[in-house]
Structure 1
Amino acid sequence: MWVDGVQLSPNFPADHIVFAGSWDGVYLSTNSGNNWNNITGNKDNRYVYKVYFTPDFQYKKSGALYVATESGGLYILNQEGKTIIELKPDNPTMTVNGVSQEIDPGRGTKPVIIPEWGRTVVPIRAIVEALGGTIGWESTTRKVTINFETTTIELWIDNPKAKVNGTEAWIDADNHNVKPIIINDRTMLPLRFVAESLGCDVGWDNDTRTITITYGG
């Protein structure tokens, strides 16, 4: 990968974060440049040649990144942003920062609480994409792969264990029956495990039966 405009985080001695511009966006490394992840996606095929910080920059906490392209474009990545997703069991819609959308467009799939587990499973694609991540499916091994910033989650249908950045873990340490399942030909993943593995906070309002997923801020 050809990069330019390499910049160390202002807090590099503590966080080991490095940013770099490339043809297909801004890349982030959290281990001093040994591994890289694209955090912006393609900037309209415009080469990123410089990355600047505001004086108060802290990754995911405060300040902003200014991303300059060779064609004169300027993008701002605000680190104070917060993504709030709200959804309810048995409801096919969710809100992302207050904007309503279908969880599984055109299919009407709803989050489901599995009674014997006491856990919620969902078709996770829309939630992952709302956060800015990507999701893939391997039919041969029946594996779901989720990528978001520096995190990769691998889950397998009917397997109560998953891998997060290569490390195997129980999906639910308290209930080893919790696992990805298929309902009506749709892959349903345990919501809390996925969301928390991606760095989100997950809340439950028993009065309104609302699940709130919060990332950033």
Structure 2
Amino acid sequence: MKKLSLIIAIVALVTTGFYISYFSKSAYSSDAGKLEITFDFKRGVPVEPGMGLASAQYAVWIEDNNGKLIKTVYVTSYTSKGGYLERPESIPVWVSKAKPSQLSDLQLDAISGATIMRDGERKYIWDCRDENGNAVPVGTYRFFVEGSYSWSSKVLFSGTVTVGGNTQNNIPVTADYNDEETHNRDMITNLKATYIAPEPSGSVLKYFIGSTEYTVNGVSNTMDTAPMIHEGRTFMPIRFVTDNIGAEIQWQAADQTVTITQADKTIRLKIGNSNATVNDASVPVDSTNQNVQPFISNGRTMMPLRFIAENLDCTVEWAPEPRMVTVIN
């Protein structure tokens, strides 16, 4: 098989045989997370000596909820390279979906594995991208593992994964066998699927009303003045936000103005003023309450947290219990 940078194959000898894993370079960097599918593979033996095996073929692929093929994660080489013409019963569902006769050699090389099949654990990773390398939209998708284990006898494993949600362990998987044939039925066993949610790419800050303790990506820190509720809004020394998201802050005592800059964004607020400027455009600090304006308390400048964080393209979440504000950069 041609050597491609798109596919990396790692083969490590373990006590049960060979451990084989196939994954794309982007599998560990996708913003949408990744789906891991593992199972034990056993190549099997011929029904009768000299008859040939006619099995050990399988494919792993992803579809959307409308049955459209999103990506073939893996398919055995024999079938992908024309074996479906010699043996039409070989993983027919995948063949009907992927239409390998219409794929180029380069495309087939990118999804197929070595011809020699050894017993052992298999791991396949979908990087939540389509055939063209584009990240798929957040939502639910169907994954399939089809195996032809003895001539026309086959099994189709399937399950549903939610991309963009929380980590999902032990995703339910259904196994559908097309007949009662038991010979080589243990070709694919112990199939498990896990969706691993992506790690936050920026900072997650948590502040607690009335407490000087706060966290940055789970690490505890201390500020000198606790956040407070004023006019129904959270106010706090904004430096404890800006310093943790890469923004700069300046205090001009002459006119009691605070200037915050980050990339191409500049925000200016003035003590006692219900209006601010964002890139020189005048905007209300709170369109529903003109009393929401910066103020000084015990020598500390208290700023409206949500207004500043959202104008710096952060997400702000409020939890009534335990009166916690989360800022996600």
- Asked whether the two chains share a fold, i.e. TM above 0.5, the reply is yes
TM-score where L is the length of structure 1: 0.59
Residue in 2 that maps onto 1:152? 266
Give the whole-Å Cα distance in 2 for the aligned partners of 1:57 and 1:158.
48
Structure with bigger helix share is 2
Q: Deviation per CA, 1:72-101, whole angstroms, max 9, x where unpaired? A: xxxxxxxx7221000111001211111111
Which aligned pairs between 1:199-210 and structure 2 lie closer than 5 A?
199-210=313-324
Residue in 2 that maps onto 1:128? 242
Higher relative contact order (CA 8 A, sep 6+): 2
Q: Structure 1: which amino acid aligns with 2:213? A: T
Q: Structure 2: which amino acid aligns with 1:110? A: A
Give SS of 2:243's match.
helix
Aligned-residue Cα RMSD (Å) equals: 2.1
Which aligned pairs between 1:19-38 and structure 2 lie closer than 5 A?
none
Q: Deviation per CA, 1:107-134, whole angstroms, max 9, x where unpaired? A: x3110101xx111100001210100111
1:90 aligned residue (210, 213, 225): 210
How many residue pairs align between the two structures?
Answer: 135
Unaligned runs of 5+ in 1: 1-55, 59-79
Q: Deviation per CA, 1:3-58, whole angstroms, max 9, x where unpaired? A: xxxxxxxxxxxxxxxxxxxxxxxxxxxxxxxxxxxxxxxxxxxxxxxxxxxxx899
Which aligned pairs between 1:62-211 and structure 2 lie closer than 5 A?
81-103=201-223, 108-114=224-230, 117-211=231-325
Shift of 1:146: 0.4
Residue in 2 that maps onto 1:64? none
Q: Structure 2: which amino acid aligns with 1:89? A: I
Give the whole-Å Cα distance in 2 for the aligned partners of 1:98 and 1:132.
18
Q: Deviation per CA, 1:130-174, whole angstroms, max 9, x where unpaired? A: 001110011111000001121110000000000011100000001
Give the whole-Å Cα distance in 1 for the aligned partners of 2:299 and 2:319.
29
Q: Structure 2: which amino acid aligns with 1:95? A: T
Q: Structure 2: which amino acid aligns with 1:112? A: M
TM-score where L is the length of structure 2: 0.39
Structure number, greater radius of gyration = 2
Give the whole-Å Cα distance in 1 for the aligned partners of 2:286 and 2:301.
18
